Amino acid sequence: MSPRHLTSIDDLSLEEIGSIFFLAEKYLRELAEPNIPYRVSKSTNACIGSVLATLFYEPSTRTRLSFESAMLRLGGQVISSTDPMASSTAKGESLADTIRMASAYADVLVLRHPLEGAAKFAAEYASVPLINAGDGAHEHPTQTLCDLFTIRRERGTLNDLTVALLGDLKSGRTAHSLAYALARYGANILLMPAKSLEFPDHVAARLQDAFGYRHMETGSLQGADERITGAFVPEGAALRTFNDIDVLYVTRFQKERSAAIATDYPTVNAAFLASEPFRNTLVLHPLPRVGELDPGFDRDNRAGYFRQASYGVPVRMALITFLLKEDGKRLASEDNSARTYDGIICGNANCISRDAGEPGASPNLESLTSDPPRLRCLYCGHEVSRA
Ligand code: CP
């Protein structure tokens, strides 16, 4: 039996996300002080005897530390590799071999990597559950769990919300995973990209093909804030005005994924949110922030981003428990059958399948039901031309 992995938010059904949140709520109820209800401050022994390994090939504060705190709060133990230059990666060891070895030393692996699709590829070599802690500009599914958990706690529901995504929608992996999840909850997704940083084509195509969403141009959004450049809405949803925005999700410019400099990047502050649609908006940010979200806004009632980061511990505690207890079950959406198409490689230069250091990462494509037929890379999600 293959172990259970989490490489994309799509790997969890909505029912499973609900189970993880139920457990996270239980941990908060039992392990938080009443005066700080979003912070786990006590420990349990739910995962005593288990070891978690964090393998981070990119910098992190929240994701790595909250995963490590989560495992320690569960009574388990942690081993870490936080700098590829201090591991055998610096000697040329492949990711595949690193994952094989880490599987021998730990019971659950948490991987952050700069290449898109690295988590899905690494999972092929992991004999224990592997969790994607961010793979290039592709996805960051556990951030999405924290985002959804915060929204549910602070808005009381995840259904039929209107959520605006702001900033670097091109390379912001948190925005990609969140959009895929929101689509399954029937949200209206409003787009507020920074200049030239719109959703990439493959993300837009996935929202339309996999989730039945349609793109609306600005002109068809009656009464919408002029800074909204478009929206994705469920197919068949009635045209409506967007004068009540439930959540604004702010993201920073991903300078590590771009050779260019961002120009005219928005700054979110009280003045930015002065208009009527934002009067009750919950403002979230995966953090770190680097200028796009004014610290002067932190004391505003609408600011939810530090609680959102604190929820990283109970949510990741619940996820670790879920994966370790679910170990041995196959993912509902998992399909390990690699399909290769002769001579066709992924066109995304930042895809793990293009990395010369990973000879095992050959093209892994699925054919989409479309006319004309299209191919999609199963590692990074980019669409691939047959030409
Ligand atoms: N949100 C997030 O992924 O933060 P870190 O990069 O600090 O882990």
CB of 109 within 6 A of ligand 1: the answer is: no
Residue 387 pLDDT exceeds 60: no
Average pLDDT over residues 325-338: 52
Band of residue 93 on the pLDDT scale cut at 50, 70, 90: very high
Q: Could you give the C-alpha distances from 13 to 20, 250, 332, in angstroms and in order?
A: 11, 26, 8
Identify the residue whose C-alpha is closest to ligand 1 atom 5: 60
Average pLDDT over residues 29-49: 97
Q: What is the pLDDT of residues 292-301, one digit of tens each?
A: 999 999 999 9
Band of residue 333 on the pLDDT scale cut at 50, 70, 90: very low
Quote the ligand 1 centre to 61 CA distance (angstroms): 6
CA geometry: angle 173, 178, 183, nearest 5 deg: 135
Residue 373 pLDDT exceeds 80: no
Residue length of the chain: 387
Average pLDDT over residues 147-171: 96
Average pLDDT over residues 55-74: 98
Q: What is the pLDDT of residues 235-274, one digit of tens each?
A: 877 656 677 999 999 999 999 998 888 889 999 999 999 9
Please report the pLDDT score of residue 151 as a whole number.
98
Q: Do β-strands 188-193 and 213-217 pair in parallel, antiparallel, or remain unpaired?
A: unpaired
Band of residue 343 on the pLDDT scale cut at 50, 70, 90: confident
Band of residue 100 on the pLDDT scale cut at 50, 70, 90: very high
Identify the residue whose C-alpha is closest to ligand 1 atom 1: 286
Quote the ligand 1 centre to 315 CA distance (angstroms): 15
CA dihedral 253, 381, 148, 218 (to 10 degrees): 60
Collapsed DSSP state (helix, strand, coil) of residue 37: coil
Q: Can you tell me the distance from the alpha carbon of 261 to that of 360, in angstroms, rounded to the nearest whole number?
A: 35
CB of 189 within 6 A of ligand 1: the answer is: no
Closest CA to 225 of 161, 170, 306, 279: 279
Q: Can you tell me the distance from the alpha carbon of 300 to that of 320, in angstroms, rounded to the nearest whole number?
A: 33
Buried b or exposed e, range 185-204, using 16+ CB within 10 angstroms: bebbbbbbbbeebbbbebbb
Give the whole-number percent of the chain exceeding pLDDT 70: 95
Mutate to test the pocket of ligand 1, among 55, 58, 60, 145 (most ligand atoms within 8 A of CB): 60
Please report the pLDDT score of residue 334 as a whole number.
47
218 touches 191 (CB < 8 A)? no
51 touches 79 (CB < 8 A)? yes
The one-letter amino acid at 159: N
Distance of alpha carbon 306 from the chain centroid: 17
The pair of structure tokens assigned to 75 is: 């009574």
- Bridge partners for 164 per DSSP: 190, 248
CB of 63 within 6 A of ligand 1: the answer is: yes
CB of 123 within 6 A of ligand 1: the answer is: no
190 touches 220 (CB < 8 A)? no
Please report the pLDDT score of residue 257 as a whole number.
92
Band of residue 328 on the pLDDT scale cut at 50, 70, 90: very low
Minimum-distance ligand 1 atom for the alpha carbon of 140:
3
Residue 331 pLDDT exceeds 90: no
- DSSP strand E in the chain: where? 51-56, 77-81, 108-113, 130-135, 162-167, 188-193, 213-217, 230-234, 247-250, 282-284, 365-368, 374-377, 383-384
What phi, psi does 276 have (nearest 5°)? -55, -45
Q: Is 194 left (phi over 0), alpha (psi -120 to 50) or beta?
A: beta
Quote the ligand 1 centre to 203 CA distance (angstroms): 21
Residue 327 pLDDT exceeds 50: no
Q: What is the mean pLDDT of the chain?
A: 92
Residue 386 pLDDT exceeds 70: no
